[in-house]
Amino acid sequence: MFAKDRDWDSRVADAELIARSPGFRHLRDRITEIAAPGGRDTVVDLGAGTGLLTLAFAQHAGRVWAVDSSPAMVDYLRVKARSAGLVNVEPVLASAVSLPLVDEIADLVVSNYCLHELRHADKQRALAEVMRVLKPGGRLVIGDMMFSLNPKQSRDRRVVAGKLLQLARRGLPGLWRLAKNAARLLAGRWEYPANSAWWHDALQQAGFERIGIEMLAHEGGIAVAHTPALDARISPPALRPIAGASERADDDRHSHGALSGRAVAP
């Protein structure tokens, strides 16, 4: 069982309000722009919530598997997709660390503001699952808070100071929230954001290539990574070469190269 800290079933209305905010809509548009879904793409949305990414991608892609570990979110999203007339959305009740999907089913995996909910070891399990379900040459685009509580990193310091200031400006309710967050942090039950260096290493360790991370002006960032193309994954069998084989191998390499998506400059 993966570590689960929050009761998301009771937070559907809040999650929907946040998803409707200009900040999240901007993030959705940037993730869509970077991911550039194709009309026949099979997409997996991890931590789909009330459908911010799922509904946007379903309009451009072949099919979207909308994965979320909260039954209430999945129910909400199912109705929302139906009300939008989207018949290519498949809501799935599951954790990102164990996807009930067969190997190499997806061209694209996306996620927005879900993975910071997972402890680092569970993030790594989720990345291994993404690697498994993506086709060779497939792409992953993750939007999330990207900072850590490391006072040695200037961006991390700036983000944390900004958050503290924001809470302090809200007066008593802000200070109450701050106290609650401090208590959760001390109890080891706060969210688990990771900074861009952590994401870069974790993606590399999971076997991803062409990794890029775009830092946003606020706490957030968008990470992009690709699975190796087919010819890089399969080691050549120990067969004797036959006439004409090398020309065919060259042709194959060129067609798989065309599958790769675009990367964001690190």
> Which is closer to ligand SAM, CB of 91 or CB of 137?
91
Distances (CA, A) of 94 to 69, 106, 117: 5, 16, 14
Give residue number: closest CB to ligand SAM. Answer: 49
Nearest distance from C-beta of residue 16 to ligand SAM, angstroms: 8
Nearest distance from C-beta of residue 164 to ligand SAM, angstroms: 21
**Contact positions vs ligand SAM (CB under 6 A):** 2, 8, 15, 19, 24, 46-50, 52-53, 67-70, 73, 95-97, 112-114, 117-118
Report the relative pairing of strands 134-145 and 220-226 from DSSP bridges.
Answer: antiparallel
> What are the tokens at 229?
């193309």
> In whole angstroms, what is the distance from residue 104 CA to residue 232 CA?
15
> Which is closer to ligand SAM, CB of 19 or CB of 229?
19
Q: Longest Cα pair distance anywhere in the chain, in angstroms?
A: 79
Question: Do 177 and 163 touch, CB atoms closer than 8 A?
Answer: no
> In whole angstroms, what is the distance from residue 4 CA to residue 174 CA?
25
Q: How far is CA 71 from the centre of its chain?
A: 20
Nearest distance from C-beta of residue 246 to ligand SAM, angstroms: 45
Nearest distance from C-beta of residue 252 to ligand SAM, angstroms: 36
> Which is closer to ligand SAM, CB of 153 or CB of 181?
181
Nearest distance from C-beta of residue 114 to ligand SAM, angstroms: 4
Nearest distance from C-beta of residue 34 to ligand SAM, angstroms: 15
Report the relative pairing of strands 42-46 and 106-112 from DSSP bridges.
Answer: parallel
N- to C-terminal Cα distance for the chain? Answer: 34
Question: Do 27 and 53 touch, CB atoms closer than 8 A?
Answer: no
> In whole angstroms, what is the distance from residue 164 CA to residue 119 CA?
23
Judged on CB neighbours under 10 Å (0-12, 13-18, 19+), 220 is buried
Q: How far is CA 202 from the centre of its chain?
A: 13
Neighbouring CB atoms inside 10 A of 120's CB total: 12
> Which is closer to ligand SAM, CB of 10 or CB of 255?
10
> Which is closer to ligand SAM, CB of 100 or CB of 257?
100
> Which is closer to ligand SAM, CB of 19 or CB of 141?
19
> Which is closer to ligand SAM, CB of 2 or CB of 198?
2
> In whole angstroms, what is the distance from residue 58 CA to residue 89 CA?
7
Nearest distance from C-beta of residue 199 to ligand SAM, angstroms: 17
> Which is closer to ligand SAM, CB of 108 or CB of 118?
118
Nearest distance from C-beta of residue 59 to ligand SAM, angstroms: 16
